[in-house]
Each structure stands twice: as structure tokens, then as C-alpha cells.
């Protein structure tokens, strides 16, 4: 089995190979056909294909030698005004040699740039449009200043569907001769929630164990509790078995090595999936939020989680009485 990073090994190289983002792919392919692109903002959650889309666009536009016409910068590392004034401006002012008269500069995590750097970038984009086109990649387009947004064509990437993610992972599974059970695939989607990069990393981590991948293996390697264990703990508490629920909590902490905030998040998800009355979901969501805040402020995890289980037990008693 190969131990190189599967996220890079199986990254799509052409727009036609991209997963899910069909409307965006069609728009990008129209740019390739016209042999021209505007400045762009690729915005959306992590792991949805923003950087891959930019690289595929460049590959389709320039051919196999696209790296000669491309520069990638990670704005979270190089986020100051000097980088715009020196690195970016130097690259942008020189004309590309070849059929396409402009180069492409990809600014990843552009929403981490300082406002001063963004102001300098605005002027650079305006002056060197003929020789360089910018693709700004970000999670939150609202953090990009308005003058830059107005100069760019926006593209909104969305999380992948379960079917699209499964189809992509099946391709990798066949290539790597891995054995993955159905509950293993479902667990990967549960922990990644449509983030394909996280899904591929989880698959590779689980496959490194060298045995068939099931749900338990996936939850173990990513440091998440099995939702069934969390559900059993919540049910025990709401049935009045506080001691049993607390034992289950300690067992999960030892078994998965979880932080309190991770358990809180999973309890929160489980409460909203349960069939308790809507008004109790509201009350318990408020309690969970309070406990989460206390953990963020540095309170003892076991004390606060025990307090949450105690509140769930009280809620169970009150629901039984019809209160």
C-alpha cells in the first residue's frame, strides 16, 4: 500500500475530473474555451475543491506546462503589505510568454490578509490586469474588502453530497486495494460532513491499520466517539441512570482520548437527532451552550460534563412527569 498523501495523489488534474461542483465547473470551462478569465474569488467551506478548481483551470488553460504561468501564495503565512508590494507586484508586472498573454496568481486563504495588504492588492489587481489574473481563495468572502469583491467574479463552493463523496472514495479504494465496509464509508462521511480532504485523510489513516475498515476503526483514528456510544450515554442519563451514564462518559474518554469540547459537540448533535419534544431540545441546547462556554473559559472537563449529564437526568425525570 502506498504511503504518499492520497489527497495529492488523487487530486483531480482537469476540470472534467472535479467532484460535484457542476455549475462552477461549467463556468470555468467557458473561461477555458474563451481563452480568457476575470479576477475570481473562490469562497466556501474547506475541502470542497477551491484550490483544486484553480489548479485545474490553469491546467486546462495552459496545458501540461501550466506551472510556468502560475504562482501560489498562502496568504495566512504571507499576509502583510510588503508581500503585496514585493512578491505579488513583481510576479504580476511581467507578461507571460505563450499563447495566453497573462499569468495566474492564486492567493490561498486570502481572508487572512490584513486590510492594508488587501488595499495594496486592490491597486495591484487594477494596474496589472493585462499581465496577471488573480484567483483569491477564502472560506469567508465577507472578510475580503468590498473594492476587491467588486473586481472579481464570485464562485461559491458547497459541501459534497454523501453520494458524490462515496463515489470518489470508491475510486481510491479500488486503486489502493483497500477493504472498506459500508458502515466504514458512512462513518467517514459522518466525521467529514462533506469535506472531501478530511474524508480522504480519514480513509488513508484507517487503511494504514491494514485490516478491513469499519465504523469503529474510522472513529478511533480520527479521535471521535462512535455516535452509538454517545447516544447510549444520553439515553442512560435521560432514563435516570446517572451513574451508568457517567461510567460511559469515562469509558469514552479513555477509549477515544476525547477532549471535553468534542464530546459536547457530539451530544449537541445527538440531542437534535433525538425524538424528544421541541421545547426540551431548546432547553437542553441552552444548557449545552452554557457548559461549552465554561469549558472554553478553562473549567474542569469532568466536572462540567458530569453537570451536563446531571441536567440530562433531571430533564428525563421532568419529561416522564409531563412537566
Residue 228, pLDDT above cutoff 50:
yes
pLDDT tens string 91-104: 888 888 888 889 99
Q: Nine-digit cell at 76? A: 495566512
pLDDT tens string 268-292: 988 988 888 899 999 999 999 999 9
Distance (Å, whole) CA 232 – CA 241: 11
73-110 burial: b if 16+ Cβ within 10 Å, else e: bebeebbebebbeeebbebbeeebeeebebbbbbbbbb
Distance (Å, whole) CA 47 – CA 51: 9
Using pLDDT thresholds of 50, 70 and 90, give the confidence band for residue 323.
low
Residue 251, pLDDT above cutoff 90:
no
For the segment 253-267, the average pLDDT, to the nearest whole number, is 83
Q: Which CATH number fits domain 21-156: 3.40.50.300, 3.10.20.30, 1.10.10.10, 1.10.357.20?
A: 3.40.50.300
Residue, of 201 and 75, whose pLDDT is higher: 201
Using pLDDT thresholds of 50, 70 and 90, give the confidence band for residue 232.
very high
Task: Tell whether domain 162-222 is in CATH 1.10.8.60.
Answer: yes
Helix (H) or strand (E) holding 41: strand 40-43
Residue spans of alpha helices (H) in 105-212 = 115-127, 146-149, 162-176, 182-192, 196-207
Q: What is the DSSP letter of 86?
A: I
High-pLDDT (> 70) share of the chain, %: 95
Which residue bears the cell 467551506? 45
Using pLDDT thresholds of 50, 70 and 90, give the confidence band for residue 174.
very high
CB atoms within 10 A of CB 264: 21
pLDDT tens string 114-146: 888 888 888 888 888 999 999 999 999 899 999
Which residue bears the cell 514585493? 86
The answer to whether the CB of 41 falls within 8 A of the CB of 150 is no
**CB under 8 Å to 170, separation ≥6 — which residues?**
none
Look at residue 89 in the predicted model and tell me its pLDDT: 83
High-pLDDT (> 90) share of the chain, %: 46
Using pLDDT thresholds of 50, 70 and 90, give the confidence band for residue 209.
confident
Nearest residue to 172 (alpha-carbon basis) of 19, 14, 16, 15: 19
Look at residue 1 in the predicted model and tell me its pLDDT: 43
SS3 234: helix
Most confident of 17-21, 196-200, 206-210, 252-256: 196-200
Look at residue 150 in the predicted model and tell me its pLDDT: 93
Residue 297, pLDDT above cutoff 60:
yes
Residue 30, pLDDT above cutoff 70:
yes
The whole-model pTM stands at 0.82
pLDDT tens string 42-64: 999 999 999 999 999 999 999 98
Write down the domain spans for the chain: 21-156, 162-222, 227-320
Angle at CA 186, nearest 5°, toward 180 and 189?
A: 110
Look at residue 29 in the predicted model and tell me its pLDDT: 94
The answer to whether the CB of 105 falls within 8 A of the CB of 92 is yes
Q: What is the DSSP letter of 102?
A: -
For the segment 26-49, the average pLDDT, to the nearest whole number, is 93
The mean predicted confidence, pLDDT, of the chain is: 88
Using pLDDT thresholds of 50, 70 and 90, give the confidence band for residue 2.
very low
Fold of the CATH domain 227-320? Zinc Finger, Delta Prime; domain 3 (1.20.272)
Q: Nine-digit cell at 43? A: 469562497
Residue 3, pLDDT above cutoff 80:
no
Sheet holding 153-156, edge to edge: 70-74, 103-108, 132-138, 40-43, 153-156
Amino acid at each position: 500500500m502506498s504511503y504518499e498523501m492520497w489527497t495529492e495523489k488523487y487530486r483531480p488534474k482537469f476540470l472534467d475530473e472535479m467532484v460535484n461542483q457542476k455549475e462552477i465547473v461549467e463556468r470555468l470551462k467557458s473561461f477555458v474555451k474563451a481563452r480568457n478569465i476575470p479576477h475570481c474569488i473562490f469562497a466556501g467551506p474547506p475541502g470542497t475543491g477551491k484550490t483544486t478548481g484553480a489548479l485545474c483551470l490553469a491546467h486546462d488553460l495552459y496545458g501540461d506546462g501550466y506551472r510556468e504561468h502560475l504562482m501560489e501564495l498562502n496568504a495566512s503565512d504571507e499576509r502583510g503589505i510588503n508581500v503585496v508590494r514585493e512578491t505579488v507586484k513583481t510576479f504580476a508586472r511581467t507578461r507571460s510568454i505563450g499563447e495566453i498573454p497573462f499569468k495566474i496568481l492564486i492567493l490561498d486563504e486570502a481572508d487572512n490578509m490584513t486590510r492594508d495588504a488587501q488595499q495594496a492588492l486592490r491597486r495591484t489587481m487594477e494596474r496589472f490586469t493585462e499581465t496577471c489574473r488573480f484567483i483569491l481563495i477564502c472560506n469567508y468572502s465577507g472578510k475580503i474588502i468590498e473594492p476587491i469583491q467588486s473586481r472579481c467574479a464570485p464562485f461559491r463552493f458547497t459541501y459534497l453530497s454523501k453520494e458524490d463523496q462515496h463515489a470518489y472514495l470508491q475510486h481510491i479504494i479500488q486503486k489502493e486495494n483497500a477493504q472498506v465496509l459500508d458502515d466504514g464509508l458512512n462513518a467517514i462521511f459522518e466525521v467529514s460532513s462533506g469535506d472531501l480532504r478530511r474524508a480522504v485523510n480519514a480513509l488513508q489513516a484507517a487503511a494504514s491499520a491494514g485490516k478491513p475498515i469499519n465504523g469503529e476503526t474510522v472513529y478511533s483514528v480520527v479521535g471521535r466517539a462512535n455516535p452509538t456510544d454517545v447516544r447510549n450515554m444520553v439515553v442512560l442519563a435521560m432514563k435516570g441512570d446517572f451513574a451508568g451514564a457517567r461510567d460511559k462518559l469515562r469509558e469514552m474518554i479513555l477509549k477515544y482520548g476525547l477532549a471535553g469540547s468534542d464530546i459536547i459537540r457530539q451530544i449537541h448533535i445527538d440531542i437534535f437527532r433525538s425524538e424528544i419534544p421541541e421545547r426540551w431540545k431548546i432547553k437542553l441546547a441552552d444548557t449545552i451552550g452554557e457548559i461549552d462556554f465554561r469549558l472554553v473559559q478553562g473549567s474542569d472537563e469532568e466536572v462540567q460534563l458530569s453537570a451536563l449529564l446531571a441536567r440530562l437526568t433531571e430533564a428525563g425525570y421532568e419529561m416522564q412527569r409531563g412537566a
